[in-house]
Structure 1
Amino acid sequence: MAVTYTGVVTVTGEGRNGGRVEAGDGLLDIRLAIPKELGGAGGATNPEQLFAAGWGACFLGAVRRAASQRGISLASTAITVEATLTHDDDGEFGLSAVLNLELGGVDQATATALGEAAHQLCPYSKATRGNIPVVVNSTAVAA
């Protein structure tokens, strides 16, 4: 397997509870905080938001690739990713995700097909397949 790219970040402090994330190239430097919804102070990002951002960006790339492979032109693309921290009755934490994809310039059947194809292509989707519950909602929108 050939390496295409490696993103490197260092997390310091107490992780999600007031930690800091810095990328090796200096382009990412952010604070972390526990969301108010979990009893934290809020005011900074958290691992679920970062995961959702990465997955959403990657997924749109996979959508564009799937469309290109099929000769389909997209007028617009947008995705809202919900990365949810869950916990079982025994207190163990997990994740679930909902990907809400909106594609302009195509009909509903094509939007659905492209969402399904992207879910097969996207490395984040591949990494989570069979590990967490994931729902992909694809919607055709007016361009």
Structure 2
Amino acid sequence: MQVLYTAQALATGDGRDGHVTTSDGSIDLDLAVPKEMGGAGGAANPELLFAAGYSACFHSALRAVARKAKADVTGSTVQARVGIGATGAGGYGLTVELAVDLPEVDPATATQLVEQAHQVCPYSAATRGNIDVTLTVGETR
């Protein structure tokens, strides 16, 4: 693979209760463990950052396959929900649900486009076989 771009982030402090910055300065955030996991909440966390990245990347992939299919993706949205929980094997794992809304596309075509995007999205490729990813087509919630 020829690398076109490399993102760089630095985590400091106490991991999930720490701070993260990117080398270009575009992200400079405190992190906190969510209340649901026994933390203070009130700040970003790794799952929020992953959800933001995956939804944006998947939306780009979706728009690319839609352009090739000459589908109208006006008003399209992709919402990512990233869950974290104990795996039962002493560790933690993630789940992802991608809810895609393509208001100008018929349901059958929308489903095909979402499946095609899932094949070309780099986040989908990275998670395939490692994280349960559920795709839903319809209105995002």
TM-score over 0.5 for the alignment? yes
Secondary structure at the residue paired with 2:102?
A: strand
Compute the RMSD of aligned alpha carbons: 1.3
Distance 2:55 2:5 in 1: 18
Distance 1:26 1:129 in 2: 30
Q: Deviations over 1:1-37 (max 9, x none)?
A: 21111111101011112x1110101111001000011
Distance 2:82 2:138 in 1: 19
- 1:90-101 alignment, distance < 5 Å: 90-101=89-100
* TM-score, scaled relative to structure 1: 0.93
CA, structure 1 residues 98+33, in 2 after alignment: closer, same or farther (shift >3 Å)?
A: same
Distance 2:139 2:29 in 1: 35
Runs of 4+ in 1 over 3 A off after TM superposition: none
Paired residues in the alignment total 140
Question: Which residue in the other structure is 1:8 paired with?
Answer: 8
Q: Could you tell me which amino acid in structure 1 is paired with residue 7 of structure 2?
A: G
- 1:78-93 alignment, distance < 5 Å: 78-93=77-92
> Sequence identity of aligned pairs in percent?
46
Secondary structure at the residue paired with 1:21?
A: strand
Distance 1:44 1:92 in 2: 23
Give ranges in structure 1 of 5+ residues lacking alignment.
Answer: none
Shift of 1:140: 6.7
Q: Could you tell me which amino acid in structure 2 is paired with residue 59 of structure 1?
A: F
Distance 2:137 2:77 in 1: 10
Distance 1:140 1:79 in 2: 9
Give ranges in structure 2 of 5+ residues lacking alignment.
Answer: none
Q: Deviations over 1:75-94 (max 9, x none)?
A: 21111111111212233111
Secondary structure at the residue paired with 2:76?
A: strand
* TM-score, scaled relative to structure 2: 0.95
Say if 2:59 and 2:78, in contact at 8 Å, map to a contact too.
yes
Shift of 1:97: 0.7
Secondary structure at the residue paired with 2:123?
A: helix
Shift of 1:50: 0.4
Between 65-74 and 44-53, report the one with greater CA deviation. 65-74
Shift of 1:74: 1.4
Distance 1:104 1:36 in 2: 35
